[in-house]
Copies of this chain bind each other. A is one copy, B any other.
Amino acid sequence: MPDEVMVVFTPSGRRGRVEAGISVLDAARKLGVDLNSVCGGRGICSKCLIAPTIGQFAKHGMTSGPDALSDLNEVEQRYDRIRGLPDGRRLGCQARLLADAVIDVPPGSQLHRQVVRKSAAERVMEMDPAVRSYLVEVCQPSLEDPSSDFQRLSDALAHQWGIRGLAADLAVLVRVQQVLRKGGWQVTAIIGHQDDGSARLIDLRPGFDQNALLGLAIDLGTTTIAGHLVSLDDGRVLASSGLMNPQIRYGEDLMSRVSYGMMNAGGAQEMTDSVRVGLAELVAQLSAEAGLCAEQIVDATIVCNPVMHHLLLGLDPVELGQAPFPPAISSALHLAASELQIPINPGATVYMLPLIAGHVGADAAAVVLSEQPQKSCKPVLVVDVGTNAELVLGDRTRVLACSSPTGPAFEGAQISHGQRAAPGAIERVRIDPQTKEPRFRVIGIDAWSDEPGFAKVVGPGGVTGICGSGIIEIVAEMRMAGIMDQSGLIGSPEQTGTPRCIADGRTFSYVLHDDSAQGGPVITVSQGDIRAIQLAKSAVHAGARLLMDEFGIDELDRVVLAGAFGAHISPLHALVLGMIPNCDPARVTSAGNAAGTGARMALCSRAARREIEAQVQRITRIETAIAPLFQQHFVAANAIPHATDRFEKLAGHVSLPEISFQAAAGRNRRRRR
């Protein structure tokens, strides 16, 4: 055996000479290679699996032979017997380097692995969670060593993992003694790493604990609360769930809730209690869905708008109701889960993403984190639609943000047959411009409603309502099919030529789905629904225009649409609706729930937290509530798509009939433009 061997690690390409006989794990550490390990080289955790590559490597100027690694030792043999060593893989902590070698570190063994998100943009998520677990052997107490159990645990973490400055809450401290003994002085320490380099003991489990560490990412909206249960090991979403914000009974929009708090003694506290109960329920739903124990959730992030932020924390939201809208606190917060009564691991910390300013909250910050407008060469508009729309417009030079009060229509509230995005909700709609007959797709069912077998799969009463993305589509489709005119008026059966337009008092409704024969609901879109959508989309549009004014641009180059509701928003339908200003449909993409994604990114990566904390300092907020032009933009945006803007970039994609149902009944003018 030579004294030294050359080792090259792929895919990083890191290389160097190391003493012969050293373990692959130790060599990786010496060379700064990103090779995982939880058990610290005891051959237990299998996080350090590596693959020796055999062959001649001209690129590296070396040969990696079949004898480059030591034979399987006892530990590896036992591991292979019990758990099975995958083909061509070795335990990095056991295999020793005997000759020059090229060693591949597969993605599953990389500590800071990059996880590709399966979105249109195919961006990657860096895994660098704040909480990790470490297996340690702790010295037993003796008369000679008079130190405490906690001291010996701290020493072990310092010595075996380089973790310094360990602190622990009393709730965990009281269990240290017992767990050390139960684990026979071998324990798994769940450690939260703080930005200042110190470490907090979140939990301690006897022996080598194989349970996955879970994180909780919450997008706390005005109308809906969405949550993801995420593996802190690889960033996978193990469960997603949502519920209506129980605060809805105190007011559908934020300002009603602020008023409720002002008008009713103890009202703010009532709302705080109710949203906390909602979060607890969400945790229960998510744990049940994933079949995992809520105690395994050791970290959490929350994004929300400033009013929800204050109402969740128990801060008085009144100041947010009047200029200059100062939040009580806007910086990122690390709170004990128990302070917010969130029933996850009692040692867990909840990370609240920072607010930007005024009414521009952590949800906007999370959108920035997710969509990175500050890295775009040309200005990009990101719109996250909810009961408030968070709008961000920026490029490398600067980023502007505002929040626009859309109301809950896009989340299915205030809509006759609106509902939260959940199985049974209509999420996609198409209307034939000739026959005026609709077809649609329902969450949880692959087939469209006009495909064979749909009725059988969906069953009686299986279509329950319309969710946000469905609402956007149906209004746009009604416009394109000539069922509704530019002003938003639904035509009569005579004007539209379809019996699906039915009289509903002095206005007309469009029947999307009639399940009454099976005892199910008749799902219609009423004139009132259209008015609600018009108000909502005008608010979004006006917010976008306001940002463009401030940015000094007249046209949008690129738009990203996001929202917590249902499937991705259809760019074309959003344009037909005029929810966003005129833009080439090919340059509008959909990003799902950007705020929720931002919450997940902050959950998976400490770097992401640092990044957004730095970013919020650089974002300029625009207050829609006091911007003189907002009202003017809002009124002009009421028409569908717009009163004055011709939306030229839609030409070639769709044709919008120029009709008006204001004229006398029967005089149904129609022109294609």
A324-332, A487-495, A641-649: which lies at the B interface?
A324-332
Assess whether A151 is in contact with B324, with CB atoms less than 8 Å apart.
Answer: no
- Copies of the polypeptide in the assembly: 2
Residues of B within 8 A of A353 (CB): none
- Judge if A358 is at the interface, Cβ distance under 8 Å: yes
Does A146 reach chain B (CB closer than 8 Å)? yes
Chain B residues contacting A316 (CB-CB under 8 Å) are 174, 177-178
Q: A147-B357, A169-B339, A173-B329 are in contact. List 10 more A-B contacts (CB 8 A).
A: A143-B623, A146-B326, A146-B358, A151-B329, A151-B330, A152-B326, A170-B314, A174-B314, A177-B315, A177-B316
A434 within 8 A of B: no
Instruction: Name A residues whose Cβ lies closer than 8 Å to a Cβ of B.
Output: 141-143, 146-152, 169-170, 173-174, 176-178, 196, 313-316, 319, 323-331, 335, 339, 355-358, 621, 623, 626
**A154 smallest CB distance to B (angstroms):** 9
Residues of chain B within 8 A of A150, CB atoms compared: 328-331
The answer, among B142, B177, B621, for a CB contact under 8 Å with A324, is B142
- The distance from the CB of A115 to the nearest CB of chain B, in whole angstroms, is 33
Tell me the minimal C-beta distance from A103 to chain B in angstroms.
Answer: 41
Q: Is the interface of A mostly helix, strand, loop or mixed?
A: loop
Task: List the B residue with the shortest CB-CB distance to A340.
Answer: B170
> Which residue of the partner chain B has the closest CB to A324?
B143
Given A148-B355, A178-B316, residue A173 in contact with residue B328 (CB < 8 A): yes
Complex Cα distance A323/B144, Å?
A: 11
**Closest residue of B by beta carbon distance from A317:** B177
In angstroms, Cα B170 to Cα A192, docked, is 20
Contacts of A146 in B (CB 8 A): 324, 326, 356-358, 621
Contact of A329 among B148, B313, B323, B327 (CB under 8 A): B148
Shortest Cβ distance from A169 into B: residue:
B339
Smallest CB-CB separation from A323: which chain B residue? B143
Q: Which residues of B contact A323 (CB under 8 A)?
A: 143
**Contact assessment for B143 and A328 in the assembled complex, using a CB-CB cutoff below 8 Å:** no
**Given A147-B330, A327-B149, A174:B621 Cβ within 8 A:** no
A177 to B317, CA, bound (A): 10
A142 → B minimal CB distance (Å):
5
Contacts A/B (CB < 8 Å), 10 sampled? A141-B319, A141-B326, A148-B327, A148-B331, A150-B331, A151-B331, A169-B339, A173-B315, A174-B313, A177-B319
If A177-B315, A316-B174 touch, does A329 touch B149 (CB 8 Å cutoff)?
yes
Residue in chain B with minimal CB distance to A181: B319
Residues of chain B lying within 8 A (CB to CB) of residue A313: 170, 173-174
Whether B324 lies near A148 (C-beta < 8 A) is no
Distance between A466 CB and nearest chain B CB, rounded to angstroms: 38
Across-interface contacts of A178 in B (CB, < 8 A): 316
Whether the pair B143, A176 counts as a contact (CB closer than 8 A) is: no
CA–CA, A370 to B196, complex, Å?
Answer: 34
Contacts of A196 in B (CB 8 A): 196
Compute how far the CA of A173 lies from the CA of B169 in the bound complex, rounded to whole angstroms: 20
A328, A356, A623 pick with most chain B CB within 10 angstroms: A328
Nearest CB in chain B: distance from A326 CB, A = 3
Q: Which residue of B lies closest to A354 (CB)?
A: B148
Contact A328 B149 (CB under 8 A): yes
What separation, in Å, do the CA atoms of A97 and B130 have in the docked complex? Answer: 55
Q: In the complex, what distance in Å separates the CA atom of A151 from the CA atom of B331? A: 8
Q: Please give, as numbers and ranges, the residues of chain B lying within 8 Å of A176 by CB-CB distance.
A: 328-329
Tell me which residues across on chain B come within 8 A of A326, comparing CB atoms.
Answer: 141, 146-149, 152
Q: Is A626 a contact partner of B143 (Cβ separation < 8 A)?
A: yes
**Which residues of the partner chain B approach A174 to less than 8 Å between Cβ atoms?**
313-316, 328
Nearest CB on B from A337, distance (A): 12
- Separation of A357 and B145 alpha carbons in the complex (Å): 9
Instruction: Report the bound CA distance from A184 to B339 in whole Å.
Output: 30
Which residues from B are CB-within-8-Å of A314? 170, 174
Residue of B nearest to A355 (CB): B148
